[in-house]
Amino acid sequence: MRNIIAFIRHFFNLFLFLILTGISLGILINYNQTYNVVFSNIASEATGKVGAQYNSVEYYFKLKKTNEDLAAENAELRGLLRSSFESPDTSTVIKIDSLLKDTLGRVRKFLFLPAKVVNNDVSDQNNYITLYRGSKQGVIKDMGVIGPQGIIGKVIDTSKNYCRVMSVLNRNSKVSAMTKKGFYTGLVDWDGKDPRYVTMHNVPKSAKVKIGDSIITSNLSGNYPPGIMIGTIAAIGGDPASGFYDLKVKTATDFYNIQYAYLVDNMIWAEQKDLEAKTLKQ
């Protein structure tokens, strides 16, 4: 206590000066219009800067919620794309559930479910990704998985709240693909080397392809809607004695940086697989 009193006594004149100065400035600002306007402008600018900094900090801590909202919104918008619907043969369809139709009478074929990535491998020969969405949230085996830039993989296993995805960067992954120009089809796989590139096989040499052309999912794939980006051609090669190209494709998805993904539910694929299975037994 004595130290505090001694401190006040030592700096008493300084404290008195500051107090009197403050009182004088208050009187000057209140009774002088010019000084009042200048002070108001300075105070407003200072308050604005503090508020802007506060908003920046607040926005940073709300990024997680913002990303989740954007992922949900993007999933809803993807579900409205034309490629998510398919026109039925109206001469044979008698009744269709109105909840599965759009305003043009097309039947919904694909539904998109947003999910957060909680684990991602890129350094192994067979890489997998774990998503925070499982059977309780509508995930089933063989669902395709895409990201904002392109395809990611397909679901191979589920638990109640998580699912395991075979990445495109997996030696066992095969994706039906086609060139965006000319619609030449082939299969895309990974050689286990560079995570930035995959290879498209069985493209006929009659195809007019060049570096920079887009490779997209084909209409032969049940896992993905047709037209989803796989990547762009980085190099054209293959056995000279063969009649097919091997295209080196730079992936559209940056597998080093995946935070959110969309599970693709082909709502009528089970019907197609059942029919094809019956045909094989005949």
Residue 214 to residue 264: CA distance in whole angstroms: 21
Residue type, 91: S
Structure tokens at 97: 């559930």
pLDDT of 60 reads 55
Residue 231: strand pairing partners: 215, 251
pLDDT of 163 reads 93
- Note whether residue 89 is domain-resident: no
Concatenating the DSSP letter of every residue in 117-152 gives EEEE--SSSEEEEEES--GGGT--TT-EEE-SSSEE
Sequence-distant (≥ 6) Cβ neighbours of residue 190 within 8 angstroms: 168, 169, 170, 171, 173, 198, 199
- Note whether residue 91 is domain-resident: no
Nearest to 262 by CA among 68, 97, 122: 68
pLDDT of 85 reads 53
Helix segments in the chain, DSSP class H: 2-10, 12-31, 33-61, 63-78, 269-281
Instruction: Kindly state whether residues 118 and 48 are assigned to the same domain.
Output: no
Contact indicator for 167, 121 with CB cutoff of 8 Å: yes
Convert 232-265 into a string of H (helix), E (strand) and C (coil). Answer: EEEEEECCCCCCEEEEEEEECCCCCCCCEEEEEE
pLDDT tens profile 227-260: 999 999 999 998 888 889 999 999 999 999 998 8
Cα-Cα end-to-end distance for the chain: 100
pLDDT of 215 reads 97
Instruction: Kindly state whether residues 55 and 149 are assigned to the same domain.
Output: no
The number of distinct structural domains making up the chain is: 2
Instruction: Kindly state whether residues 209 and 280 are assigned to the same domain.
Output: yes
Instruction: Kindly state whether residues 126 and 266 are assigned to the same domain.
Output: yes
- Note whether residue 148 is domain-resident: yes
Contact indicator for 153, 165 with CB cutoff of 8 Å: yes
Instruction: Kindly state whether residues 222 and 119 are assigned to the same domain.
Output: yes
- Note whether residue 29 is domain-resident: yes
pLDDT tens profile 59-73: 455 566 656 666 666
pLDDT of 266 reads 87
Instruction: Kindly state whether residues 53 and 172 are assigned to the same domain.
Output: no
pLDDT of 121 reads 92
Which residues in the chain show pLDDT less than 50? 44, 47-48, 51-52, 59, 86-99
Instruction: Kindly state whether residues 52 and 142 are assigned to the same domain.
Output: no
Q: How many residues does the chain have?
A: 282
Place of tokens 């919620």: 65
Instruction: Kindly state whether residues 122 and 256 are assigned to the same domain.
Output: yes
